[in-house]
Chains A and B, each alone.
Chain A
Amino acid sequence: MPDKMIAEYARKSQFVAAGVLGSIGATTMPIEPAVSNAGIFKVEEVLHGPKELRGFNGREITVLFNDPASVRAGESSVLFATSWQYGQSLAVLEVGRMDDKERVTMRKEIDAAYEALADERLAQRIALAQLVIVGKVTKTNPTPEDIRKRMPISEHAPDWWEAVIARKSVEKGRHEGATITILFPNSVDVAWSQSPKFKPGQEGVWILQRDQQERGWPIMRVPGFTALDALDFQPPSQIAHIRSLIKRP
């Protein structure tokens, strides 16, 4: 169980770094218009963040602090932050700050907080789903013309295809047949690029919504089962984990 404060900060932060507070008023990149509550933070170790920013270990960044009066130059801290500016250097918005206690323990707690968040997001997708199945794609093909022609002509048209999945197990909901046909957007346009695409032979866990109402314009939606979020298809290695999430109260 992650520390409660860490969990709260992690929910709003995408960048966590251990380091040393610098002086208020200085910045590591031009900030225009100037802001009075910006200051410098020397990163010793990025504890959580995207791979592009791992290179900031050992570098100074700019932080927009919530309470600049609380900043003591030279103090070691763990900074929880979210996006602001990416330039010659990095500038972030402070979400919260904690004392840099024993680093190994802290790192474990931070990792645990982000794992819990990831589980929570996956559990939310499962909660929205009417059907969760384990299976293997046997066939894919474009949907019939009458469905495709209903769509407006747009660069963002989803290009709905069907995937036939041979069912191995049903983990949530009810499905009687040996196969199930689902729909997926074959479009690689930016609007649909993050939705999973399927190919024959693909195995895994499908987290399926019936007649979804959350993605795309209403005129683009079609009745049927879909898995449109990047989390809605999971590899076979996640079966046990997904089962445990389904059982969670």
Chain B
Amino acid sequence: MFVKVVNMIPHSLSGEDNMDSEPSITVNPANPLHMAATAFTPDPMSSGNGPIYVSTDGGNTWRLNVVLPGGNLTNDITVRFGTKSNVLYAGILRAFTIDLNILRKTNFSSPGLMTLLLNKTQDDQPYIEAATDHPGDDRVYMGENDFNHLPQSATVDASLDAVPPPPGGFTSVPVEPRATLGQDGPSVRPAIHHTGIIYAAYFGWRSFGVGTVTSDVVVARDDHWAAGPIRFQDLVDPGDSLPGMRVVKGVSIPALGTLLGKQRIGSSLTLAVDPRRSEVVYLAWADGTSAADYTIHLRRSTDSGQTWSADLRAVVPATNPQLAINEFGEVGFFYQKLHNPGSGNRWQTHVEISDNAFSTHHDILLADLPDDNGTGPTLNPSNPLGDYAGLVAVGDNFYGVFCGNNTPDLANFPHGVVYQRNANFSTHQLLDLSGINPVIASYDPFFFHIRRHEKERKDLGGFGVARLEIEGLKYEKLEIKALKLDFEDPRSERRRRSHGHAKDHHEEKHGGVLRQLGEEIEELGRRLASASRDDEDNCH
């Protein structure tokens, strides 16, 4: 298994000591070298606009690009690329007003602010997803807890063609049909299947307990891109004939703000759909009566959300579950678990990967970090990890981001780590830009990339993808210095069946390679054309 972990704070900000928590990440499916990520990282110059993290080399290096309107740092923020458009979308809560904005940017790494698509007030925890449909329109879905729809606040804002001017084609779709205690939980998570099936998971808060709320965990579904007059009503619970299947009913969840270690908990939810089969859905959430028994449950449906498995995994005490499913159908399950080996609380950040519905799984421990906020400015003393982290799958890769204590100690990173900022791993000391003066520990975002090695993928029995990897890309002139072809693809059932028949295999393989290569080159041309256009961004 290839595992890479990178501390995302750029070298130029070696002297920073912010609490850069609550991360999100997106990888451009049309060009996986291009990535954007976020955290509660302020613009160091306090320009009045906020930064995103960008990488154009597959996550090996990161820099901040100041493109977010509405304050030196945002409140909540999540980001997604359209699947084919190269366009970046963001859902943010602005500073001060806490207004919710949906934003877009054609070229995510260029200068200029993101363009406003939608502004709303009294709307919490924007969680954005996007997909490009066949005509090339970007369909954008944002889960949110919309207090304009009280008492049934679980909402998805949907646009079938998210372009300016505001409101960007967005329609607000409440997805909660049942009575609540006055509102739903903060987390509303959409998931898109490329055939137009949209799932949305939410916490249907039903009543107050003692230091808890009693909640259903509900999955709704729309089978037509949420395009019709009646939306998110295609999955009906036979128990009450209302839209939205109650996967569990009446579970206790610790009140929002309950502390697990130093991290607040109370709304941990994630959902992912198998890109090969829209009826296969994974769901994870956390419940419990206290922090000590805050348990992440992982379950699976193979019939589009109608019925659900028992727990495939149960992890306690843990928070920030994230799910993603790659093109092989392998499921990535991310979480952060608190433990105490006797020397104080620590956060273990795990990704478990399974190709058999968690009958077995690889457990990858990315980091084991102190639950220690450091002694510097504490922007978010009760939210150092964040209310969520990030995990996405592109191709056969898993990419993600998490936050944690940034003490430079290789013992904390079982698979190693690369720091861009100055750090002395012998003395476990961060250093400023000069490389001399010490910098206090704080929280940083960490990027990770997980991929099976070639041999492991061969062992899966697949073959057939052509992948074009280009080194030395310049926009004035395309230079291809190296061309590497990889023939594996277990996506095709026909190819898989032909395994072992040497002649058929050979012919099939080369035909597939040429087709795939043609598509890759065509896509590259589109990317280059898109990169040279900057008609929408407000470039300097």
A32-B109, A217-B121 are known contacts. Are A155 and B383 too (CB-CB below 8 A)? yes
B189 to A: closest C-beta gap in Å: 16
B433 within 8 A of A: yes
| Structural contact, B63 and A156, CB atoms closer than 8 A | no
| Structural contact, B256 and A154, CB atoms closer than 8 A | yes
Q: Which residues of A contact B147 (CB under 8 A)?
A: 152, 154, 217, 219
Q: Which residues of B contact A155 (CB under 8 A)?
A: 124-125, 186, 256-257, 264, 267, 383, 387
B32 to A: closest C-beta gap in Å: 15
Q: Which residues of B contact A14 (CB under 8 A)?
A: 45-47
B326 to A: closest C-beta gap in Å: 26
A90 to B: closest C-beta gap in Å: 5
| Structural contact, B98 and A88, CB atoms closer than 8 A | no
A214 within 8 A of B: yes
| Structural contact, A219 and B111, CB atoms closer than 8 A | no
* Segment among A105-113, A126-134, A174-182, A185-193 that sits at the interface with chain B: A185-193
Q: For residue A29, which residue of chain B has the nearest CB?
A: B63
- Interface residue count on the B side (C-beta < 8 Å): 69
B294 within 8 A of A: no
A181 to B: closest C-beta gap in Å: 24
Interface size class of A (residues with CB under 8 A): 35 or more
* Segment among A78-86, A136-144, A235-243 that sits at the interface with chain B: A78-86
* Segment among A48-56, A162-170, A203-211 that sits at the interface with chain B: A48-56
A218 within 8 A of B: yes
Tell me the complex Cα distance, A106–B519, Å. Answer: 58
| Structural contact, A33 and B97, CB atoms closer than 8 A | no
| Structural contact, A217 and B13, CB atoms closer than 8 A | no
B40 within 8 A of A: yes
Residue picked from B40, B93, B433, most chain A C-beta under 10 Å: B433
- Give the dominant DSSP class at B's interface: loop
From A30, A66, A218, contact of B121 by CB (8 A):
A218
Q: Which residues of B contact A217 (CB under 8 A)?
A: 97-99, 121-122, 147
Tell me the complex Cα distance, A193–B434, Å. Answer: 30
| Structural contact, A89 and B12, CB atoms closer than 8 A | yes
Q: Which residues of A contact B248 (CB under 8 A)?
A: none
Q: Which residues of B contact A82 (CB under 8 A)?
A: 45, 47
- From 1 to 53 in chain B, residues with beta carbon under 8 angstroms from any chain A beta carbon are 10-16, 22, 40, 43-47, 49, 51
A52-B16, A83-B47, A217-B147 are known contacts. Are A88 and B11 too (CB-CB below 8 A)? yes
B446 to A: closest C-beta gap in Å: 17
Q: For residue B181, which residue of chain A has the nearest CB?
A: A153
**Chain A 91-102 near chain B by CB (<8 Å), digits 1 or 0:** 001000000000
A49-B45, A85-B64 are known contacts. Are A156 and B432 too (CB-CB below 8 A)? no
B441 to A: closest C-beta gap in Å: 16
A83-B66, A156-B124 are known contacts. Are A34 and B476 too (CB-CB below 8 A)? yes
| Structural contact, B145 and A88, CB atoms closer than 8 A | no
**Chain B 363-396 near chain A by CB (<8 Å), digits 1 or 0:** 0000000000000001111110001000000000
B207 within 8 A of A: no
| Structural contact, A87 and B475, CB atoms closer than 8 A | no
Q: Which residues of A contact B474 (CB under 8 A)?
A: 34
From A37, A51, A189, contact of B383 by CB (8 A):
A189
New A-B pairs, 13, CB < 8 Å, besides A83-B66, A189-B380:
A30-B61, A32-B56, A33-B534, A55-B432, A85-B63, A87-B64, A154-B147, A155-B186, A155-B257, A188-B378, A189-B383, A191-B95, A219-B147
A-B contacts, 23 of them at CB < 8 A, read A32-B109, A33-B110, A35-B111, A50-B46, A51-B15, A53-B12, A84-B65, A84-B66, A86-B13, A86-B51, A86-B63, A87-B12, A90-B12, A152-B150, A155-B125, A155-B387, A190-B40, A190-B383, A193-B380, A217-B97, A217-B99, A217-B121, A220-B98
